[in-house]
Structures are given as structure tokens and as C-alpha cells.
Amino acid sequence: MKNRLLAGLAGVVLAVALAGAQAKTFKYADQGDALSMDPMMLNESLLLNFTGNMYEPLIERGKKLELAPGLATDWKQTAPTVWRFTLRKGVKFHDGTPFTADDVIFSYERAKGEGSDIKSYVGAVKEIKKIDDHTIDIVTSTPFPILPQVITQWRMMSKAWCEKHNAVNPSDVRKGVENYASTHANGTGPFMLKAREPGVRTVLVPNPNWWGKKEHNLTEAIFTPIGNNATRVAALISGEIDMMQPVPLQDVARINANPKLKVLQGPELRTIFLGMDQARNELLFSNVKGKNPLKDVRVRRAFYQAIDIVAIQKRIMRGASTPTALMVAPGINGFDKSLNGRYPYDPKAAKKLLADAGYAQGFEIGMNCPNDRYVNDAEICQAVAAMLAKVSVKVNLTAEPKATYFPKILKRDTSFYLLGWTPGSYDSHNPLFALMATPAAEPKGQGQFNLGSYSNKRLDALTAKISSETDPQKRQAMISEAFKIHKEEFGHIPLHQQALSWGMKKGVHLVQLADNFNYLRWVTIE
């Protein structure tokens, strides 16, 4: 009797141990949540990255950000404006329906339609023709040699599923509405959505029917936003989570000193910058009435030269940033080192510029800033406010979580704001087109994120030419010219590229992409 009991007990223990060995739950945290499960709802890295575990594009990015076949196995240019894509056969969405050309066309309509935040990725596409169920032609309005690079963030959704659940259009972040696709997901990707509690936790499980070769060893992934820096670090140190980012800069040394933990650092492709409303005749948030001081290039230059970027780098970023004069990072195609010298920090010159522009006494301006999106974002804004105060510009700062911040500034409900941008195509055309060109209805997505509506006709013309130019040297010359115009007109105030810093247990292996993406399909834990 006693022996049988013991044997039974041993069996239970063994079973538990085995289950423990097999269950690989990866718990990870970020400072904010992915705001929706809809891959077209917001053009933001975290959301694109997170939904990218479930939804896939035609062309993917590999471990070195190189192009790789995704839901298209092959693509080639058949005419200057026509691209033939062969779709992967035998792919099924999570709900079991097969993936076909109709879904691609549907996803295109959805991406360019009402409520979509990723219009700029499909702006060059004129139409998509179905040849057969697994062949399509993408037709662009003008020759567009970088099409494969541009569409890697455009993910495929199921037509039948979206129609069935009334989610044909993405929920518009500007209007604050949600739909079925905001909280449910049905992609073709390696992971499926198991549970979604917005702002609390999101659980993903592997898709057993995924078409690709499995490289991860996870059985479950739990994503938790932890806004408080100290709490996030404590969660990692206590072992409650396996990985988190960003590591607060003041804690990098402490985590590295812990024998069980490590910090993975690397330069990031994201550029952090300040934008200024240059369209309205009167700023929404300022005490200057009847005119818009930011329309005056001298005022914009004064703002730029009043900012001590080295102090921000040294004190706020603790060295983990690279000050920049351009809106793109080294590593983005089109980056021009010769243009990357910043105008010097010079508060006296800034004061003089303001006086010349008629603001010797300064003025008041409202500033908007996220506090859970970029590394020390709110601290940077506070520092900028203090620096501008020294040239008599009084900044009324509103720092808030991105859940309220993004809807507000995407409505252009701001005078002065901080934003970060990683070109989704890793090419300079993307920031020129989406961030710097004059906002326009056509082509779709032009200037969609040029939230201050900086406008220069020559830059617009160059951007259009850059999109179709195939000669690399001519193209680079045009990119450099456009960047130079933008720099000299102070269309935005570039600040820096932040460094990536991910903290994790030593047994966690993953791929840190330079655009701060962390795909679960490459995560293994020991």
C-alpha cells in the first residue's frame, strides 16, 4: 500500500517535472501596450511589431532586416509599373480559411481606406489585379523601384473574417472607436491571440499550422505593459518576467552586474525629433494671437539652437544616444554623413533670432509629449521646456500616455510635439514622403505624419522623383538635396537616435532588430 502510494507520488512528480520542462512560457514587458490588435490601426513600431507575430506581409524582413519571402514566395518586375507576385500556397488563416489573392486585394483596400494609419505604405500602389488565386499584379502609378522595401509593414488580413465581424475598415485611432479586429486577431502568422486584456496583458500561443519552419521553442508568450521604470526593472530582477525593454538608462549597469541577467544594446534606426505647427495662421496653443510665430524660419531656428543636445545626451540619455542633424539614422538608405552636422547650441544667437522675428519678450506655447513611448521621452520634453525658458519662450508641457497622446497629435491638435520615426522601408523615401512632404490627399499617405504641415514645393517634387528614380547616384543626389532643404528651413528639429536597450535573462536568445522589433518566432528560452 505504502509503496503504491509512493510510486503514485513519484509518477505525479515526474509528470509535473516533464510538463515543466516542456512548457516554455515567455513573459515579456514594454513600457506601454500595443494599442490595438489591428495591424493597420496605428503606424507605430510596437503595434506593428506585436501584431507582426500574428499577421504577415507579402515580403518580410529577415534577421538582418534583409527582404525575405513572406506570404509571397516570389516577386518580379514585369513592366516599369507592374510587379508580379506569386503567393504562397497552402497557407491558412488561424480560423482555417485559406489565404488567397482576394485577401491581398481586400488588405490593400483596407490599408488605403478610411481609418487606416498605414496609408503611406501603399500610397504608390494604383491597383492590384488578380491573375489567379495565387498570382497577383501590383500596379504602381509611377515606376516605383523600392516597392518591395515599402510594403513590408503591410500585413494580410482575411477578407471573409473582416466582413463577417464588421471590421472591413480599421478603427480610426483619431476618433477613438474600436471594432472586432481591435481585440481579436486572425492572421496567418506563427502566433495566435489567446487572450487580450488591453493595458493589462496579452497572451499569444504558437500556431500549430504555420507554414514556416519553426525556430522558437515557446509554448506561450505573455506580454505585459509595465509603465513604471522601477517596477519593470524589479520584475526582471525578481524573475517574474524573462525580458523587457527599454531598460531605464540608469539601471543598465545594475542589470549587467546581475549574474543571471544581461542587457542587449545596439544603435536604433529611430530618430527622435520635435515638430512644429507651420500651417495654421494662429497656433492652437499659444498667447500669440493673429499670427503663427512658427511660420517664421528664424523662430524655428531659435528653438533649434536653444536646445543643448549634448546636455540631453549626457544627463538624460546617459550617453545612450547619438545626436543627429538629419531625420534619418546612419543605416537608413540615403543617409548623408556630410549633412549630419548640427547647428551649434547657442542660446544667445537664439535670443537674437527671436528678437529679429519680433519676439524679444518671448511667447508662450503649448507642447505635447508622450511619457511611455520613447526612452525618457517626457524627461526630454521637460528639459526642452527648461532650455526654451532660457530664451524667454514659456513652454506649457502636457506629457501623457501614448493612448491619449497619439490620437491627439494625429488629429494635428498640437502646436509643438515630440515624435520618433523609424522608416518602415529603411529607405529615405519613407520619411521624405510621410514626414516631410506637404500633406496631400493624393498620392495616398503623403505627409500623413507631417503633423506640423511643413511644406516646400521643391522637396515635394524631389520626393516624387526619388520614388521612381532607379539610378542610385542620381537618387542619392536628390535625397541629399531634399534633406538639405529641410535642414535649412528647420522643418523639424531632429534630436537624436536613441540606443536600444533590452534587458533579459541570460537563458533567453532572440534577435534584436535595429528597428527595435522583437519577433517571437526567433525567441528561444533555455
Q: How far apart are CA 154 and CA 49, in angstroms?
A: 12
Which of 176, 182, 112, 115 lies closest to 413, judged by CA?
176
Is 107 or 498 the residue whose CB approaches other proteins more closely? 498
Q: How far apart are CA 168 and CA 153, in angstroms?
A: 19
Is 254 or 262 the residue whose CB approaches other proteins more closely? 254
Total interface residues for other proteins by CB under 8 A: 36
The footprint of other proteins on residues 37-96 (CB under 8 A) is none
Asked if residue 225 binds other proteins (CB under 8 A), the reply is no
Asked if residue 247 binds other proteins (CB under 8 A), the reply is no
The footprint of other proteins on residues 273-292 (CB under 8 A) is 285
The footprint of other proteins on residues 157-196 (CB under 8 A) is none
DSSP state string for 489-523 = TTSEEEEEEEEEEEEEETTEE----TTS---GGG-
Q: Which stretch binds other proteins (CB under 8 A): 169-177, 227-235, 291-299, 433-441?
A: 227-235
Q: How far apart are CA 327 and CA 270, in angstroms?
A: 9
The alpha carbon of residue 62 and the mean position of all alpha carbons in its chain are separated, in whole angstroms, by 17
Name the residue type at position 50.
Answer: F
Which of 398, 431, 400 lies closest to 273, judged by CA?
431
Asked if residue 400 binds other proteins (CB under 8 A), the reply is yes
Least distance from other proteins to the Cβ atom of residue 399, Å: 7
Asked if residue 317 binds other proteins (CB under 8 A), the reply is no
Among 47, 306, 365, 385, binds other proteins (CB under 8 A): 385
Q: What are phi and psi of 18, to 5 degrees?
A: -65, -45
The alpha carbon of residue 97 and the mean position of all alpha carbons in its chain are separated, in whole angstroms, by 30
Is 387 or 466 the residue whose CB approaches other proteins more closely? 387
- Which runs of consecutive H residues, i.e. helices, occur in 324-410? 347-356, 377-389, 402-410
Least distance from other proteins to the Cβ atom of residue 385, Å: 6
Q: How far is CA 118 from CA 341, 444, 482, in A?
A: 31, 10, 23
Asked if residue 228 binds other proteins (CB under 8 A), the reply is yes
Least distance from other proteins to the Cβ atom of residue 267, Å: 23
Least distance from other proteins to the Cβ atom of residue 401, Å: 9
Asked if residue 387 binds other proteins (CB under 8 A), the reply is yes
Q: Which stretch binds other proteins (CB under 8 A): 337-345, 393-401, 467-475, 490-498?
A: 393-401
Q: Please list the residues that pair with 501 across neighbouring strands.
A: 265
Mention every residue, 6+ apart, whose C-beta is less than 8 A from residue 479. 334, 336, 428, 429, 432, 462, 466
Q: Please list the residues that pair with 140 across neighbouring strands.
A: 125
Among 254, 280, 291, 484, binds other proteins (CB under 8 A): 254
Is 431 or 452 the residue whose CB approaches other proteins more closely? 452
Q: How far apart are CA 138 and CA 275, in angstroms?
A: 34
Binding string, 337-366, against other proteins, x = CB under 8 A? -----------------------------x
Q: Which stretch binds other proteins (CB under 8 A): 33-41, 127-135, 306-314, 334-342?
A: 306-314
Asked if residue 6 binds other proteins (CB under 8 A), the reply is no
Pairing of strands 59-61, 67-69: antiparallel
Binding string, 407-446, against other proteins, x = CB under 8 A? -x--------------------------------------
E strand spans, 151-260: 191-197, 201-206, 220-225, 243-245
Is 394 or 506 the residue whose CB approaches other proteins more closely? 394
- What are 351's three cell numbers? 535670443
Which of 160, 155, 188, 164 lies closest to 89, judged by CA?
188
Among 160, 311, 349, 511, binds other proteins (CB under 8 A): 311
Among 82, 397, 485, 511, binds other proteins (CB under 8 A): 397
Least distance from other proteins to the Cβ atom of residue 405, Å: 8
Among 46, 395, 410, 482, binds other proteins (CB under 8 A): 395
Q: What are phi and psi of 221, to 5 degrees?
A: -130, 130
Asked if residue 33 binds other proteins (CB under 8 A), the reply is no
Least distance from other proteins to the Cβ atom of residue 309, Å: 10
Q: What are phi and psi of 209, to 5 degrees?
A: -100, 20
Q: How many CB atoms lie within 10 A of CB 255?
A: 20
Q: Tell me, what DSSP letter sits at residue 152? A: G
Least distance from other proteins to the Cβ atom of residue 347, Å: 10
Chain residues that interact with other proteins, rule: CB under 8 A:
228-230, 233, 248, 250-251, 253-254, 285, 308, 311-312, 314-316, 366, 378-379, 382-383, 385-387, 389-390, 392, 394-400, 404, 408
